[in-house]
Amino acid sequence: MSYLELKNATKHFGKLAALEDIDLRVEEGEILGIVGPNGSGKTTLINIVSGYYRPTRGEIFFNGKKISGLRPDQIAARGIIRTFQSNVLYEGATVVESMLISSYQQYRTNHWQSFFETRAWKDENERVVGRVIELIKLLDLLNDTFLPAEGLSHGYQRMLGIAMAMIAKPSLLLLDEPTTGMNHEEAMFVVDKIKKISEQGVTVILIEHNMKVLLDVATRVVVLNFGNKIAEGRPEEVMNQQEVIEAYLGTETI
Amino acid sequence: MMPFLDYKNVVPKTVIGLLVALIVILPVFTTNVITLSIFISSGIWAIAAMGFTLVLRTGQFSLGQGAFMALGGYTSAILTVKLGMPFWPSFFLAGIVSGIVALLVGSVVLRVGGTYFSIITLALAEVVRIIAQQWEPVTRGTRGLITSPPDPIVLGGLEINFATSTVPYFYFTVCLVAITALIFWQIGESRLGRSFAGIALNPVLAEHQGMHLMRYRVIAFTVAGVFTGFAGCLYAHFLTVITPYMLGLWQSIQIMIMSIVGGISSLAGGPIIGAILLYTFGIYLSRLEIYGIQQLLFGAAVVLVLLFLPKGTGLVDLWERFWRKVVWREEEYEPDTPDD
């Protein structure tokens, strides 16, 4: 059994089929790219895996255990962490505060130990703060550590989103268009960081609008169109398939 | 070389410490019942306001904290008057009963959260009042229950008698406020405080990072319920009477106003400052004998605080700003606007 497996996953909004019978397997350690034009169901796919929506039909398995139907926090506790397409932040918190709030799953000690400030908690807290600083450095947020998160520029807010997901202890990271609103140079910077994240032993599912970004980073690509999977394979192969080109550019009608 | 002293941190804290010490040794200067009872009542309201602030920390706006004071007060009154139980066990039972009600109501109502939570807690305050009013055989209806002061305690030959002096009440209140403040402060500093901040600032994001929203909302509501119950019990026994009108809707709103005017950025300091100032102010206003003036001016106080203190931070933040701006004359730190 694969690391993450979707069986006939379907999501309907009323009569609209956002996802139709999607079968998907993700292996441990890979960077899977998911592409598709607007409205093809990419974000819905992340939403049903992370528990934001329940699938209308079908099942999702993670590590051999069924996760469809669980609450988002239960799914997060199993190690599936997502980012959001828009900049979803803790408004009013600074960068480091946001990171500390997000570090929730890093702790093994319980709330009582934290309340009474036991030795074990202090040690663990020190370790977590170390990890926070490590991630702040990795994602280039060091200069903004004590600034309010909503005051950062768009690009840095995207980076903070990834940093917050990383401190939430993912074993599978779902990135929803991390390079949205960035130029090619900035996007390549993000790609570089995603590679580094993958090297830390995190499996990544990367949703991307921009095919060029995926070429560089993804080990495998899945193409969605109108809620259906239309292609799957290595990025270079998939990009040249007739169906994919049609989905992006439309059919020749002349 | 001089050892480094963080005077900007130490001096304001020392001043606060001296003020607190001054209040604690107040009975040395005066045992005037009126002066002491202002502080005792302020302390009781401060505990309730701390409870409100704790619930607010999870992003929920409870408009019925007065219900838990009434629950605590009535529980203790019924246990002591009707069942003849001594004060001390009934004091703890008052908190427990109030906490259990908070737990039960919270586990249902907090599922919806937000505005619905406010509306339902508002209704809860009225429901408790109406039950107290209508359940005549137990609560004696609008006539209320006449409670007795706590039993005297003998500590190493020293008899502490609540019936003859206000001073024991004063110290009991000071202890209760101190314990509540300490626990709430520590909750704010611990991981619980972080989780509360997370689910308040962005519930969707917090949930996707593994925080169970219901769990933390219910914890905050229950802890607040327990301590508000203690406050209500003390209130009923201090005034030696509890009637349905003592803890109605206005009292719930008053708790909210004290918390907001005092400042919600601090779990302990804000509510205490807010309660002392507003309670004293309210006593002064009630002497004017103008009907409704208290409600009017309390409302005005909230509006003023929300208008003139940025981001709804209350008076407690003025203290810090006073030291930074007026005493140390620091420049405002303006972070550079990031360039895109």
Hey, are the CB atoms on B208 and A104 less than 8 Å from each other?
A: no
Instruction: Kindly state the DSSP code that residue B323 receives in the 8-state scheme.
Output: I
pLDDT computed for residue B198 by the predictor: 92
From residue A205, how far is each of A22, A152, B51, B210 by CA, in Å?
A: 15, 26, 43, 19
- Taking contacts as CB-CB distances below 8 angstroms, the residues of chain B near A117 are 190
Residue B252 pairs with which residues in a beta bridge?
Answer: none
| Domain shared by A64 and A183, yes or no | yes
pLDDT computed for residue B75 by the predictor: 92
The complex's ipTM works out to 0.89
| pLDDT tens for each residue of B129-159 | 889 888 888 788 778 888 877 777 777 777 7
- Taking contacts as CB-CB distances below 8 angstroms, the residues of chain A near B195 are 101, 104
| pLDDT tens for each residue of B188-204 | 888 899 999 999 999 99
Which of B186, B205, B340 lies closest to A154 in CB terms? B340
Q: Is residue B257 over pLDDT 70? A: yes
Residue B332 in domain: no
Interface test with A, best of B196, B208, B215 (most A CBs within 10 A): B208
Q: Which domain holds residue B261?
A: 7-327
**Rounded mean pLDDT, B36-54:** 92
| Domain shared by A72 and A196, yes or no | yes
CB within 8 Å of B236: residues ≥ 6 apart: B72, B73, B74, B76, B77, B145, B147, B242
Which of B190, B208, B335 lies closest to A82 in CB terms? B208
CB within 8 Å of B307: residues ≥ 6 apart: none
A229 three-class SS: strand
Distance in Å, alpha carbon of B330 to nearest chain A alpha carbon:
19
Residue B334 in domain: no
The answer to whether residues A137 and A45 touch, using CB atoms and an 8 Å cutoff, is: no
- Taking contacts as CB-CB distances below 8 angstroms, the residues of chain B near A127 are none
pLDDT computed for residue B339 by the predictor: 52
Residue B35 in domain: yes
| Domain shared by A134 and A239, yes or no | no
Helix (H) or strand (E) holding A113: helix A111-115
Distance in Å, alpha carbon of B312 to nearest chain A alpha carbon:
12
| Domain shared by A241 and A132, yes or no | no
pLDDT computed for residue A37 by the predictor: 81
Predicted structure pTM score? 0.88
B83 three-class SS: coil
| Higher per-residue pLDDT: B285 or B44 | B44
Interface test with A, best of B57, B182, B209 (most A CBs within 10 A): B209
Domain end among A119, A144, A167 = A167
Residue B113 in domain: yes
| pLDDT tens for each residue of B103-134 | 999 998 888 878 888 999 999 888 988 898 88
| Domain shared by A192 and A252, yes or no | yes
pLDDT computed for residue A187 by the predictor: 86
Q: Is residue A151 within 8 angstroms of chain B, CB to CB?
A: yes
Backbone dihedral region of A117: left (phi > 0), alpha (psi from -120 to 50 degrees) or beta?
left
pLDDT computed for residue A203 by the predictor: 92
CATH number at residue A62: 3.40.50.300
- Taking contacts as CB-CB distances below 8 angstroms, the residues of chain A near B207 are 71-73, 76
| pLDDT tens for each residue of A229-239 | 888 888 888 87
| Domain shared by A199 and A210, yes or no | yes
| Domain shared by A49 and A61, yes or no | yes
Per mean pLDDT, which range of A61-65, A178-182, B37-41, B208-212 is the poorest? A178-182
Hey, are the CB atoms on A72 and B202 less than 8 Å from each other?
A: no
Smallest CA–CA distance from A84 into chain B, residue: B205
Query: What total number of domains does chain A contain?
Result: 2
Residue B111 in domain: yes
Smallest CA–CA distance from A50 into chain B, residue: B208
Domain end among A167, A192, A212 = A167
Query: What total number of domains does chain B contain?
Result: 1
Hey, are the CB atoms on B190 and A153 less than 8 Å from each other?
A: no
Domain end among A109, A137, A167 = A167
Residue A84 in domain: no
Q: Which domain holds residue A206?
A: 1-79+170-254
Residue B217 in domain: yes
**Rounded mean pLDDT, A205-213:** 82
pLDDT computed for residue B230 by the predictor: 94
CATH number at residue B218: 1.10.3470
Taking each helix axis from N to C terminus, what angle separates B213-238 and B191-201, rounded to the nearest 10 degrees?
Answer: 110
Distance in Å, alpha carbon of A131 to nearest chain B alpha carbon:
16
| Domain shared by A68 and A9, yes or no | yes
- Taking contacts as CB-CB distances below 8 angstroms, the residues of chain B near A100 are 194
Residue B333 in domain: no
